[in-house]
Each structure stands twice: as C-alpha cells, then as structure tokens.
Amino acid sequence: MHRLGGGYSWQFNKKYQRSGSLFQGTFKAKLIYSNEYLLHLSAYVNLNYKVHKLGGLAAKLIKSSWAEYSTDQISGICEKSIILNQFKSDKEYKAFALDTLPTLIERKEQNKELAELLFES
C-alpha cells in the first residue's frame, strides 16, 4: 500500500504541480466476516464520494470505481465479478448500492455525533 500510495501521490503531484501527501492517516485492514458485509462495503467504497459529499477533483477520482460497477461499458482494475455475479445485472447492483446510501450516510452522522460526545471537553 505504501508503494502504491507513494507512486500515485508522486504522479498526481507532478501532474497538478503540487507537493505534499494526498492521503490522510494510515491504511486500515478490516475483516470481512460475511457476504452481506462485503456487499454493503462495496456500496460504501463505490459511493464514498456521496457519503462524504465530496466534489471537484476528489469526486472525479472516486467516481471511477462507481462507473466500473454501475455500467458494463467500463473496465478497469476492479475485480467486479465477486460482487456483480451476485446480482442479475449491473442495474440491480446499482439499485442495491443506491438503496444502501441513506443508511451509510446515517451511520456516518451517528459516528460523528458519537465522536463529538466522547471527545467533548
């Protein structure tokens, strides 16, 4: 992950004539304990830009995985078959992911409120 992130940051900084890190925090690994969790996690990753209300360049970069999963015309580096083979079509996956979006946003807000309560002085 370090080499991937470092190489990407170098290219991005060179292309846009900037310096510094692009990513905040350390890489996290989390156990995917069920297929249901895997499907919801894929929706979260693909719709992250909507959950966090990102715009501009960040949204353009993140939307690329969503485009890979929600249309059959784009192929990239994602191994989509693990997720998409569980649905009848790309459209069914897209509907599932978009139906999951309100829950993802609500959970993000709950986590934010909890963090504010815990770290209040």
Structure tokens that stand for 101 in this block: 């979006």
Whether the Cβ atoms of residue 6 and residue 57 lie closer than 8 Å to each other: no
Predicted structure pTM score: 0.65
Residue pLDDT, tens place only, 2-22? 666 677 777 877 887 777 776
H runs (alpha helix) in 16-118: 35-46, 48-51, 56-70, 81-84, 90-118
Q: What average pLDDT does the structure give for the chain?
A: 80
Give tens-digit pLDDT for 85-121: 999 988 899 999 999 999 988 888 888 888 778 876 4
CA distance 47 to 26: 21
Q: Are 84 and 90 in contact (CB under 8 A)?
A: yes
Tokens of 104: 């993802």
